[in-house]
Amino acid sequence: MALRGIALIGAASLATQPVSAATTCMRGINLAGAEFGKVGDAYGKGYTYPSAETIRYFASKGFTAVRLPFLWERLQPKLYASFDRAEAKRLAATVELVRKAGMVVILDPHNYARYKGDLIGTDNVPQSAFADFWRRLSVRFGTEADIAFGLMNEPHGIAAEDWVSAANGAIAAIRQAGSASLILVPGTAWTGAHSWSAGDYGTTNAAAMSAIVDPQNNYVFEVHQYLDQDFSGKNDECSRAADAVKALSDVGTWLKQNNRRGLLGEFAVPRQPECQSALVDMVKVVESNPDAWLGWAYWAAGDWWPEDEILNIQPVRTVDKPQMATLLKAMSENASCGR
C-alpha cells in the first residue's frame, strides 16, 4: 500500500513448523517503517524498523506472522552489487526479533516493481537485476523455515506477462540458490482482489498467473483488498465493503479452481463502527476457506505511524485501537486456527 488477549500458543505452533504453501491460519500484521522516507534518508530520521516492544505486542495478541516492508534501494544501493552492510544488519536483526517472538517473517521489498523509480524490465532495471537481488536475499535468509519471501509489493504499470516473466526469473534464482522457502507471488494492477480478473493491463492476472513456474511448487498468490470507494485504502470510509468481500470470495473460488492457495497480504478498515463488521467478514472469507487461503495480514502498524492515521492499529500508550478489538473478536471465533 502507498503511505497512507489471545494466547501465544497459536503463534508458537506456527513459527516452529516450516511455513509452506500448505500452511493454514496465518494471522499477520504489516509492521511498516523501514519503507518510509526517501532513499538516502538517515536511519532513525527518515525511516525505522519495528521495535522489539511493538513486535512483542502483536505476538501477545495472537498474531502469527509479520509482513516486513523495506526498500530494495536501501538494501542494495547498486544493482548486481553486494547489500549495504548496515542496512542488511538492521534487517537481519529485525527478522531475528520477529522469529524470537514466535512469528513467521514475510520479507517484503515495498517497491511497486520499481527500483529508483524505474520499472523492472526496462533498460535501467533489467529482469536479471531483480533475479540477482532475490538470489542474494535467499542466500542470506533462505535456509530458515519460518521466513517467507514476498517477491514484490503491489506491482503496477507493468503488463501481466512481463511481470510473470520477472517473477519467474526471481523464483528460479531463489531455487538455484538452494532455498526451498515459501514464495508469495503478487499480480500486477496493485494485485487487487477486485481487479484480479480485470484487463486493466491487457491480460488479466487470472489468466497470466497460470504461467508461474516454481520447481519446488512452494508458492502462493498474494492479493490485497481495501474497502473504500476506490479500493485504495486512502479514504476514511468503507463504502465498497460488500464489493470487497465479494471480490475476495471470487479470488478464493479462482484459487480453488486452479488448485492454488493465496494470502490476503493487505487489507484494513478505518475506525467507524459500520466498518468493523466488514473487517470481520474479510477475516471470515479467508479463515472459513483454508483450502484456498494461507491466511491474512492486516495493514498496518509500526512505531512511527501518526495516532490519527485511519487504518493504523499501533496501540497508543498500550490502549488497543478499535480495529484490534474487532480482529481479536474475529480470531476468537475460530479458536482452533494456528493450533
pTM greater than 0.85? yes
Residue 324 pLDDT grade (very low, low, confident, very high; cuts 50, 70, 90): very high
Residue 200 pLDDT grade (very low, low, confident, very high; cuts 50, 70, 90): confident
Q: What mean pLDDT value characterizes the chain?
A: 94
From the list 35, 87, 266, 287, the catalytic residue is 266
- CB 210 within 8 Å of CB 258: yes
pLDDT of residue 8: 35
Tell me how far apart the alpha carbons of residues 224 and 266 are, in angstroms, rounded to a whole number.
5
pLDDT of residue 1: 59
Distance of CA 171 to the CA centre of its chain: 17
pLDDT of residue 22: 87
Tens digit of each residue's pLDDT (9 = 90 or more) over 104-115: 999 999 999 999
3-state secondary structure of 214: coil
Check pLDDT > 70 for residue 5. Answer: no
Of 97-111, 193-207, 253-267, the poorest mean pLDDT is in 193-207
Tens digit of each residue's pLDDT (9 = 90 or more) over 282-312: 999 999 999 999 999 999 999 999 999 999 9
Grid cell for residue 85 = 552492510
Tell me how far apart the alpha carbons of residues 55 and 67 are, in angstroms, rounded to a whole number.
11
3-state secondary structure of 135: helix
pLDDT of residue 4: 38
What does the pLDDT average to over 144-163? 97
- CB 233 within 8 Å of CB 268: yes
Distances (CA, A) of 317 to 141, 256, 306, 307, 314: 34, 43, 13, 10, 9
Tell me how far apart the alpha carbons of residues 82 and 79 are, in angstroms, rounded to a whole number.
8
Amino acid identity of 11? A
Check pLDDT > 80 for residue 9. Answer: no
Tens digit of each residue's pLDDT (9 = 90 or more) over 123-134: 999 999 999 999
Tell me how far apart the alpha carbons of residues 67 and 46 are, in angstroms, rounded to a whole number.
20
pLDDT of residue 15: 42
Indicate if 96 belongs to the active site.
no
Indicate if 154 belongs to the active site.
yes
From the list 87, 154, 222, 287, the catalytic residue is 154
Tens digit of each residue's pLDDT (9 = 90 or more) over 261-277: 999 999 999 999 999 99
What does the pLDDT average to over 161-178? 98
Check pLDDT > 50 for residue 171. Answer: yes
Tens digit of each residue's pLDDT (9 = 90 or more) over 203-246: 999 999 999 999 999 999 999 999 999 999 999 999 999 999 99
Element of type H or E holding 299: strand 293-301
Full set of structural domains in the chain with CATH: 9-332 (3.20.20.80)
How large a percentage of the chain has pLDDT more than 90?
90
Tens digit of each residue's pLDDT (9 = 90 or more) over 21-73: 988 899 999 999 999 999 999 999 999 999 999 999 999 999 999 999 999 99
Tell me how far apart the alpha carbons of residues 29 and 50 are, in angstroms, rounded to a whole number.
12
pLDDT of residue 280: 97
pLDDT of residue 17: 54
- CB 190 within 8 Å of CB 178: no
Check pLDDT > 70 for residue 14. Answer: no
